[in-house]
Amino acid sequence: MSHAPQQHRARKRFGQNFLRDLGIISRIVRAIGPREGDRLIEIGPGQGALTEPLLEAAGALEVIELDRDLIPGLRVQFFNYPDFVIHEGDALKFDFTALKGDGPGLRVVGNLPYNISTPLIVHLLTMGDAIADMHFMLQKEVVERLAAEPGGPDWGRLSVMAQYYCQVEQLFTVPPEAFVPRPNVDSAIVRLTPHATLPHTADDPELLFELVKLAFGQRRKTLRNNLKGRVNADVLETLGIDPVRRPQTLTVAEYVAIANRVAADQKGGTQ
């Protein structure tokens, strides 16, 4: 058995909210379904609320923790697990591909601080080859954006990027009272599973996401306006896309088609 977690004042600058509800913790662990032999990576273990049941189930776990004040407590708490490894550092700068090496795909989990959740997910999406799946607790509105469908109010740049790389499943909501300190918003659990084969392949993914960012620059404006100077209206028409559509009505496949046409035209020197 592990020792009780040490008391630690949550730090605002790290966006820390520690999970305390045992029912929610066991539900998250069931959703992850850790097994022996899994290469589990936990981002921001905090005081070890998820860490302990994950270690119990899988027997091995690596954690990435930025707050060095928490690390001695984690070492004490899990000293009797020989396959518990702490990486001290910033997950936003972490090379998950190098961490995987020649081993099995990483199963990444974490109760992500609200202030880094979106850039961290973007960072991880580009390393899909190294990752088997991801389970995160996030601000509910971020999960709704990840799992949104075209045409809805939550469909945007993050939705397109996440769904280009992954199958996204919104699992369940976590109320504020499950945490200490209590956040001002609801949280939710999301599962991201990288596609074994991309359903729609961009010839230049960087170009795709540059165009998606431009398209969603002003949601109330038309594609013609937002992509002006980058994609001509007649190019959109030849792809069967009406230039007066709003950016939130386009599917991932349509954005990929636009990007691939622009990439082809650039290669041919006609754009």
- CATH 1.10.8.100 domain range(s) in the chain: 205-266
Q: How many angstroms separate the CA atoms of 75 and 68, rounded?
A: 11
Q: Where are the alpha helices (DSSP H) in 129-232?
A: 140-146, 157-165, 205-215, 223-226
pLDDT bucket at 222, cuts 50 / 70 / 90? very high
**Dihedral sign (CA 260, 261, 264, 270):** negative
What mean pLDDT, rounded, does the chain reach? 91
Structure tokens at 114: 């609200």
Q: What pLDDT, on a 0 to 100 scale, did the predictor assign at position 219?
A: 86
- At 269 the pLDDT is 65
pLDDT per residue as tens digits for the range 2-40: 444 444 444 444 445 778 889 999 999 999 999 999 999
Of 87, 160, 98, 167, nearest to 127 (Cα)?
98
Tokens, residue 152: 């809805």
The predicted pLDDT at position 16 comes to 57
- Of the candidates 67, 59, 56, the one whose C-alpha atom is nearest the C-alpha of residue 90 is 67
In angstroms, rounded to a whole number, what is the distance separating the alpha carbons of residues 162 and 124? 10
Interval 89-111: pLDDT, tens? 999 999 999 999 999 999 999 98
* Topology, domain 205-266: Helicase, Ruva Protein; domain 3 (1.10.8)
Confidence at residue 3, expressed as pLDDT on a 0 to 100 scale: 46
Fold of 12-194: Rossmann fold (3.40.50)
pLDDT tens, position by position, 127-181? 878 999 999 999 999 999 999 999 999 999 999 999 999 999 999 999 999 888 8
Give the pLDDT band (50/70/90) at residue 271.
very low
* Token output for 102: 């020649």
In whole angstroms, what is the distance from residue 162 CA to residue 175 CA?
Answer: 24
pTM attached to this predicted model:
0.90
Lowest mean pLDDT among 20-24, 77-81, 162-166, 214-218: 20-24
- List the single range of 55-59, 63-67, 180-184 with lowest mean pLDDT: 180-184
**pLDDT at position 19:** 85
Mean pLDDT, rounded, for 236-252: 97
| pLDDT higher at 248 or 3 | 248
Percentage with pLDDT > 70 across the chain:
93
CATH 3.40.50.150 in the chain is located at: 12-194
What are residue 63's DSSP bridge partners? Answer: 42, 86
